[in-house]
A and B are shown apart, each in its own frame.
Chain A
Amino acid sequence: MALTSPPPPEADELPAAAAPVPDAGTRRSRRRGRGTGQARAMVRSPLVWVTGVAVLWFAAAFLVLPNLSLLGTTFFPDGQFSVRAVEKLLGSERAMRTLGNSFLLAITLSITVNIVGVFIVLVTQYFRVRGSRLLWLGYATTLIYGGIVLAAGYNFIYGRFGFVTNLALNIWPDLDRDWFSGYFAVVFVMTFATTTNHMLFLSSSLAKIDFASIEAAKLMGASTWTILRRIVLPVMRPMLFAVTVLTFLIGLGALTAPLVLGGPDFQTVAPLIVDLSRSPVTRDIAALLAIVLGLATIVLLAIMNRAEKSGVYFSVAKVATPIQKQPIPNPVANAVVHVLAYLVWLIYLVPVVLIVLFSFVDARSILAGSITLDSFTLQNYITVFTTPGAIRPFIVSVVYSALAAVVVVVGLLFVARVLQRYRNPVTSLIEYVLHIPWILPTVLIALGLVMTFDRPNGWVGGAVLTGTPVLLLVAYIVIKIPFTLRLLKAAFASVPDSLEDASRILGAKSLTAFRRVIIPLVLPTAAAITALNFNSLLDDYDAAIFLYHPLYKPLGVAIQESTRGENNLDAMPITFVYTVLLMIIMGLVMYFVYGRGASAGTPRRPGRAARRRAASSAAAGASVAPVDGATATGATEGHDQTPRRGGRA
């Protein structure tokens, strides 16, 4: 989901949200008290040894080595330090221009996305606006529809041969076919596609405002505007800052939207990296550009981290009163807000609705604009499901995503447990290393893997992985590590120590306690993370474009190819079908992860309530990254207080 790929912060860890866990202190000190005993237990546990060796090998081979070799290729091309790549980059007008464009895009989006994002959050969550649920559903379409799919969708509708373009040409024959291209188109599409972070994280920080404080302000005579300005927005400010940084990063690393809609005039860094990496001659510039992108990302995340630490508002209320929607007293303002809300809603909805409709129509009718009731058939679906070539990318992506999602969760289940249980310099170091993918753009990770494993490599038994289907799987696993680790650790942390102590005193061995008592409790979270991982990998483009095997072409690549030129227009309806299928799958996953818990309210049977709590703690983490990215967990972990990025944009 390259385009939206909101490197997401996590609800719970977030600014206004992060209420101090009352017993965190005592729990931690108790742990410290058990320190030496713990170290001994750690060394003696076979689980720790097996997990440790496996994680060290994986981290060294796939997290550290590729990045080192990327730096090596760039700065030590022949074993000697050289700045030739830098000179080549500075000398390339094209590269410098794309860098400029990327920064321009990042700055523009920081403004536009904030305006739209804050607006949609306020009209759906804060102000009393008619039909706000309906509005929410429209705005939330970006949760199940983003990245290359979204860029392709906009292209097929507003692009050179798009339906709307064709319609418009009937009215204004002089219209430039490429009207929806370049800076404007990229900004427009990305503005509406990347409000997901706002929807998730701003909403959650708004929801955590204590409504009693709004009532208190009202009682003291504050107006709606004063309350918004002085009570509500200040509390959301740290989160606003965080999502702004994330938006900036999304703009900086944007790949699919500029690729599909940028046209010749608006090329940005990420697509250029893809381009340059194809030739050995320019590969060093590609690597250098990726490093620049990576550095910018690290710097910005560091700034965000710092700012956040100084500006977090802990809610003072132990029990916050749930927020109630506020009427807009001024009738004119109220009308204006309603009109704007529905206009924005239409912008979100039109492409989705058209894509669903067009998935039932053949390409020629769409292009000719001559759609009648008879044009609607199931033919496209039949084609996709009966033509091996058409269904193949879909199956490839499903298999890749499912494999990666399961492997990363199962593997990290043990790692997270060990890291959460034993805190010492070694485990801290491992934890930091495992977070590398979180601070690096996907493009850089993928490029590093390509360039490291294109020759026999001792770390993987002397095999060459580049050009094999395995490397993309490795990349998917790597990308998903930080998000998975943080949420699993949070899940383990939320299991009271006393449960394990109790099972031990009843005679269970450590491993039995883990398997029979602890695992069942984190299972709902693990399942939710697996589902979210699966979702976000399904339409991946950013990693795939570097790593895919021509025989196993994933969906993202197939969709991107369908947007290229007029010759591929027959592929358009197929892409629409893919899109609809993706939206259904993602919608279902979202529903299972968030939907059921969200409509709580009525008391349920205890067993179920407990399960639901577990699931929702997962989902809380999950509010996280429905789309993509890594995340942190609650305030239980000192250094985990930052919104996370997944690094694909």
Chain B
Amino acid sequence: MIRFDGVDVTFGEHRAVRGLDLEIREGEFFTLLGPSGCGKTTALRSLAGFIQPTAGRIFIGDRDVTNVASEKRGVGMVFQNYALFPSMNVRENIAFGLAVRKAPKAEQRRLVDEIADRTGLASAQLDKNVAELSGGQQQRVAIARALVLTPKILLLDEPLSNLDAKLRVQLREQLKQLQNEVGVTTVYVTHDQEEALTLSDRIAVLDAGQLQQVGTPEEIYDRSATSFVCRFIGESNRLTPAVLRRLRESAAASDAASDLPLLDENAESYVRPEKVAVTVGAPASGAAEGVLSVTGTVEGRTYHGSHSVYTVMVDDAALRVSVPGSAAAKRWEPGTQVTLGIDPHWVLQYPGS
């Protein structure tokens, strides 16, 4: 549906996007994710036609749109700050594109009412000034204004970033639902990894203009392709060579050692906090069911309601371990000796990075 083919965008000295190759499928909710300055917005704006790539081509369907004007690409866009026209009321804002196309007045009315209904705007709000609406409602107007032209592709540039946390979560769900209903191919830009994981069919992670990984949310989280992706998405513990050595010793002592993946002591290695199991006391003999174990000392605990995070010192490394629930039985004071169980399958290793 959408294809970036070796797209490069350079601003003066700065290469904002470097050789981006990307394919986005029809009807997909696709997210460009990365820290600020990673080139995600630049990539999106290239797709919208606001930025001319320095090199490479962009295709929509089979059509090369690299040099096609924005308005002829059949894309709709919701801007980070919504870009509503302050001098028009809500209805006029939504109808603007239809008016430009010189759609008959009655038709405009019908389409606006229809899309307003769909995006959850009450008809009483249509005659209001945009400044009178709350942030969430303004965002609905921006979405309605883009969708009323029935674009083949909907571009969303951090549309939730201006809202407060609670509303953000609520609108996120509604946005996903709306996209499911309308079925429009959606390209979404965000720096919020949680947003990306919950919304997307697939995610592309970018860093410093470079594509790091494309995959489903599960792939991105569980099988991060690069150490950047691993560190950027979710939380992770860096495993020092000393800890890796202890894990290897544990593996050697295990009966099932031959079935376990061999950990590379010299590779940059990570394990996510919730993938580590904690038990009190010394390890049971050997590794049970493919889990390697190391001992450590509890340093501290932070309480998060649904779970607690313990900091456990293992040799020179402080590992953060997430433990679900808050049962008193699971409350370990600092100084408690514990055993950490780690399935080597969950250890992410990046040799030579």
A309-336 near B? 1/0 per residue, CB < 8 Å = 0000111111111000000000000000
B149 within 8 A of A: yes
Find the residue from B75, B76, B83, B97 having the highest chain A CB count within 10 A. B83
User: Known contacts being A218-B71, A313-B131, A314-B131, is A226 close to B100, with CB within 8 Å?
Assistant: yes
Give the complex CA separation of A216 and B86 in angstroms.
13
How does the 8 Å CB contact mask read for A218-231 relative to B, with 1 for contact and 0 for none?
11111000100011
Say whether B77 faces chain A, with CB atoms less than 8 Å apart.
Answer: yes
A219: chain B residues at CB < 8 Å are 48-49, 70-71, 75-77
CB–CB B83/A215 < 8 A: yes
Give Cα A315–Cα B138 distance, bound, in whole angstroms.
12
Q: Is the CB of B101 within 8 A of A212?
A: no
Which chain B residue shows the least CB distance to A311? B87
Q: Is A313's CB under 8 angstroms from B70's CB?
A: no
Chain B, 18-55, contact with A by CB distance < 8 Å: what is the 0/1 string?
00000000000000000000000000000011100000
Give the residues from 44 to 102 in chain B that come closer than 8 angstroms, CB to CB, to chain A.
Answer: 48-50, 70-71, 75-77, 79-88, 96-97, 100-101
Question: B162 touching A216 by the CB < 8 A rule?
Answer: no
Q: Which of B48, B85, B131, B138 contacts A217 (CB 8 A)?
A: B85
- Among B77, B79, B97, B130, the most chain A Cβ lie within 10 Å of the Cβ of B79
Bound state CA distance, A218 and B73, in angstroms? Answer: 11
Q: Is A220 a contact of B97 with CB atoms below 8 Å?
A: yes
Number of interface residues of A (CB under 8 A): 27
Report the nearest A residue to B142, measured CB to CB: A216
Given A219-B70, A221-B101, also A235-B87 (CB < 8 A): yes
Check A234 for interface membership: any CB of B closer than 8 A.
yes
* A240 interfacial by beta-carbon distance below 8 Å: no
Cα of A16 to Cα of B79 in the assembled complex, Å = 20
Q: Which residue of B lies closest to A210 (CB)?
A: B83
- Contact with A313, one of B81, B86, B101, B149 (Cβ below 8 angstroms): B86
For B50, list chain A residues within 8 Å (CB): 215
Chain B residues near A321 (CB-CB < 8 A)? 79, 81, 83
When distances are taken between beta carbons in the complex, the residues of chain A under 8 Å from B81 are: 210, 212, 316-321
Question: Which residues in A have their C-beta under 8 angstroms from that of B49?
Answer: 219
Hey, which chain B residues are within 8 Å of A218, CB to CB?
A: 70-71
A237 within 8 A of B: yes
Report the separation of the CA atoms of residues A210 and B138 in the bound assembly, to the nearest whole angstrom: 15
- Identify which of B84, B87, B101 contacts A237 (C-beta below 8 A): B87
Bound state CA distance, A220 and B86, in angstroms? 17
Per-position contact with A for B296-308: 1 when CB-CB < 8 Å, else 0?
0000000000000
Residues from chain A with a CB closer than 8 A to the CB of B138 are 316
B131 contacts across to A, CB distance below 8 A: 313-314, 316
Which of B87, B100, B162 interacts with A220 by CB under 8 Å?
Answer: B100
Q: Is A38 an interface residue (CB 8 A)?
A: no
Give A287-317 as 1s and 0s: 1 = Cβ < 8 Å from B's Cβ atoms.
0000000000000000000000000011111
* B88 CB to nearest A CB, Å: 7
Q: Which residues from B are CB-within-8-Å of A212?
A: 79-83
Residues from chain A with Cβ under 8 Å of B88 in the complex? 230, 234
Q: Would B96 and A222 count as touching, CB distance under 8 A?
A: yes
Query: Are B97 and A221 in touch, CB under 8 angstroms?
Result: yes
Output the nearest chain B residue to A315 by Cβ-Cβ distance. Answer: B86
Closest residue to B92 on the A side, CB-wise?
A: A230
| Cross-chain contact A318 with B162 (CB below 8 angstroms) | yes
Q: What residues on A are CB-neighbors of B75 within 8 Å?
A: 219
Distance of B143 from chain A, by nearest CB (Å):
12
With contacts A316-B130, A318-B162 taken as known, whether A220 is within 8 angstroms of B83 at the C-beta atoms is no
Residues of A within 8 A of B86 (CB): 16, 210, 213, 235, 313-316
CA distance A217 to B85 in the complex (A): 9
A230-263 vs B: 1/0 string, CB under 8 Å?
1100110100000000000000000000000000
In the bound complex, CA of A234 to CA of B87 (Å): 6
Write the chain A residue with the least CB distance to B48: A219
Determine which of B83, B87, B96 lies in contact with A317 in the assembled complex, contact meaning CB atoms within 8 Å.
B83
Kindly supply a per-residue 1/0 record for chain A positions 255-288, scoring 1 wherever the CB is within 8 Å of any chain B CB and 0 otherwise. 0000000000000000000000000000000000
Distance to closest chain B CB from A16 (angstroms)? 7
Q: How far is the CA of A218 from the CA of B96 in the complex (A)?
A: 11
Instruction: Name which residue of chain A comes closest to B72, CB basis.
Output: A221
Instruction: Say yes or no: B84 contacts A220, CB within 8 Å.
Output: no
Is A216's CB under 8 angstroms from B87's CB?
A: no
In the complex, the chain A residue whose C-beta lies closest to that of B135 is: A318
Given A234-B87, A234-B88, A313-B131 in contact, is the A220-B80 Cβ separation under 8 Å?
no
By beta carbon, the residue of chain B nearest A232 is: B87
- Chain A residues positioned under 8 Å from B162 (CB to CB): 318-319
Report the minimal beta-carbon distance from A325 to chain B, rounded to whole angstroms: 14
Residues of A within 8 A of B85 (CB): 213, 216-217, 230-231, 234-235
Q: Collect the chain B residues with CB atoms within 8 Å of residue A210's CB.
A: 81, 83, 86
- How far does the Cβ of A593 sit from chain B's closest Cβ, in whole Å? 29
Contact residues in B for A213 (Cβ distance below 8 Å): 83-86
Measured in the bound complex, the distance between the Cα atoms of B48 and A320 in whole Å is 19
Among residues of A, the one whose C-beta sits closest to the C-beta of B97 is A220
Task: With both chains docked as a complex, state the minimum distance between the C-beta of A635 and any C-beta of chain B, in angstroms.
Answer: 13
The answer to whether A216 and B79 touch across the interface, beta carbons within 8 angstroms, is yes
- B214-228 at interface with A (beta carbon < 8 Å): none
B194 to chain A, nearest CB (A): 22
Chain B residue nearest to A221 (CB atoms) is B71
- Closest chain-B Cβ to A47's Cβ sits at a distance in Å of 40
Contact of B87 (CB < 8 Å), options: A231, A318, A320:
A231
Q: Mark A502-526, 1 if CB is under 8 A from B, else 0.
A: 0000000000000000000000000
Query: Which chain B residues lie closer than 8 Å to A215 at the CB level?
Result: 48, 50, 70, 77, 79, 83
Type the 1/0 row for A405-433, where 1 means its CB is closer than 8 Å to any CB of B.
00000000000000000000000000000
Known interface pairs A210-B81, A212-B81; A313-B87 also in contact (CB < 8 Å): yes
Assess the A221–B82 pair: CB atoms within 8 A: no
Q: Smallest CB-CB separation from A222: which chain B residue?
A: B100
Q: Would you give the shortest CB distance from A225 to chain B, in whole angstroms? A: 11
Return the chain A residue nearest B81 by Cβ. Answer: A317
Q: When chains A and B are docked, how far (Å) is the Cα of A212 from the Cα of B145?
A: 14
Q: In the complex, what's the smallest C-beta–C-beta distance from A218 to chain B, in angstroms?
A: 6
Measured CB to CB, the nearest residue on chain A to B50 is: A215
Closest partner residue, chain B, to A220 (CB atom) = B97
Residue pair A216, B100 in contact (C-beta under 8 Å): no
Q: How far is the CA of A212 from the CA of B50 in the complex (A)?
A: 11
Provide the B184-202 mask, 1 if CB < 8 A to any CB of A, else 0: 0000000000000000000
Q: Tell me the complex Cα distance, A217–B97, Å.
A: 7
Q: What are 12 A-B pairs with beta-carbon distances under 8 A?
A: A215-B79, A216-B85, A219-B71, A220-B96, A220-B97, A231-B87, A235-B85, A235-B86, A237-B87, A314-B86, A321-B79, A321-B83
Beyond A217-B96, A220-B97, 9 extra complex contacts between A and B, CB < 8 Å: A210-B81, A212-B79, A218-B71, A219-B76, A221-B71, A230-B85, A234-B85, A234-B88, A314-B86
Interface residue ranges, A against B (CB under 8 Å): 16, 210, 212-213, 215-222, 226, 230-231, 234-235, 237, 313-321
Ranked nearest first, the 7 interchain pairs of A and B with the lowest CB-CB distance are A220-B97, A212-B83, A234-B87, A317-B81, A221-B71, A313-B86, A213-B83
